[in-house]
A and B are shown apart, each in its own frame.
Chain A
């Protein structure tokens, strides 16, 4: 009953929001760059337009997924290295913070000339993902209690066995949190990377629509970018749910 009430409220809120959007656009309260929602759907109602966006979302999606995988892998490897060789940890941590502090916008041109236009979106997505996953993995690995660590030490476990049988299982909930953060960061990173001069992708559409004042196309691309992020988030949540169902 409570659930139904919650969903009703949620839907009600959404309807009000969409309605407000429509009115604002229709009356031109926020200028000509804020179109009514219906005009965006009208735009998407044409087959070539829809295909254009789906095709480019696919490109961005693939870039984001590759970036997510690569970033997760790098973040995980760094965290594991930091655990196995505790002496390396402070250095790794500083390195990760340093890389994360570099403004990606500034890195863009540099990446274009080093890894090339095609790989830049993946590289930027990777860079956006790896830090949040590294931080999540480190915090996950430290989730065990002092007693659990003492007991593990006394049982004579090697550092690797400790990681494999105690620290990693304890870290799993945090790893999923890191992946969820990473999913949205990856889409954002991929779009930003495409922006710098890639041939295809939502980033390219955004730039070209902006320069040619194609307001409906611009908003449609933003909508598809949001859909990509939500899809990533939902997919990881579903995997997480399937994983933890065993524990309930």
Chain B
């Protein structure tokens, strides 16, 4: 099977001054298949957000090649085939909920498909709040809105950078369940960066663990749990033992990092 995203020998060097630099990522290679949900995890500073930005086409690697659908990530952006939601919602405060979801249509120069907008408001359970401005919504609602906005153009690639990172633990579990429900309905190639290993196991098909200094991918876990996954899934033995083994690996990386 032809991979959808190919990452081949990618490095990223940040120059701090004329002579000083940091290698954030060194020689990373992996592939992501069509409609696969991949989670990038690892300790802070391992470069996972940097890698995500490059896959999204917001940043260029210093070395190596990233191809999405056989093309430069910028091509995918230009064809409006990417959706993105981040830890900060990035909603426009002067637009109401429905207008925020319609924004990608406007930015793409497409006629606004009001049915699609309503369908998404329904999907993230915000139909009643279509006329509310972001400042009138709770943190969880804003994140749901931002995910709806990411999905409105039916992207071929979904980029999620800690989308629920700023939420409390209870809301976060609920959001994960919602996202899982939405995603399972229409699987889309997704790359998620997260600090929460439960979240990574619950949502993804595959987990790539990265280690810092310099950033590389050091472990890979397949998540063979059947979909759709529910809150029940997150209490089952298979789920818990996988979270356990991913967690102990991360602890291992962090402790060697601290000792070195």
Q: Residues of B contacting A170 with CB < 8 Å? A: 92, 94
- Say yes or no for B212: interface residue by CB 8 A criterion: no
Which residues of chain B are near A154, meaning CB under 8 Å? 56-58, 77, 82-84, 159
Give, as a whole number of angstroms, the nearest-CB distance from B98 to chain A.
Answer: 15
Query: How many residues of chain B get a CB closer than 8 Å to chain A's CBs?
Result: 29
Query: Residue-by-residue, is A143-171 near B (CB-CB < 8 Å gives 1, otherwise 0)?
Result: 00101101111111110011001100110
Q: A154-B56, A155-B82, A156-B77 are in contact. Are A147 and B104 (CB under 8 A)?
A: no
Contact present for A148 and B107 (CB under 8 Å)? no
Do A155 and B80 form a contact, CB below 8 Å, given A165-B106, A169-B92, A170-B94? yes
Nearest residue in B to A246 (C-beta to C-beta)? B94
The A interface is mostly helix, strand or loop, or mixed, namely helix
Quick check: B84 and A150 within 8 Å, CB to CB? Answer: yes
In the complex the two chains form, what is the Cα distance from A102 to B28 in whole Å? Answer: 55
Q: How far is the CA of A166 from the CA of B57 in the complex (A)?
A: 20
Contacts of A151 in B (CB 8 A): 84, 86, 90, 149
A150 lies within 8 A of B94 (CB): no
A153 engages B77 (CB within 8 Å): yes
Q: Which residues of A have CB within 8 Å of B82?
A: 154-156
Rounded to whole angstroms, the CA-CA distance of A217 and B94 in the bound complex is 49
Contact of A150 among B78, B89, B90, B149 (CB under 8 A): B90
**In the bound complex, CA of A162 to CA of B92 (Å):** 12
Closest to A164 in B: B106
B58 touches A157 (CB 8 A): no
Distance between Cα atoms of A147 and B89 in the complex (Å): 8
Q: Which chain B residues have a beta carbon within 8 Å of chain A's beta carbons? A: 53, 56-58, 77-84, 86, 88-90, 92, 94-95, 103-104, 106-109, 133, 149, 153, 159
Please list the residues of chain A having a beta carbon within 8 angstroms of any beta carbon in chain B: 145, 147-148, 150-158, 161-162, 165-166, 169-170, 172, 247
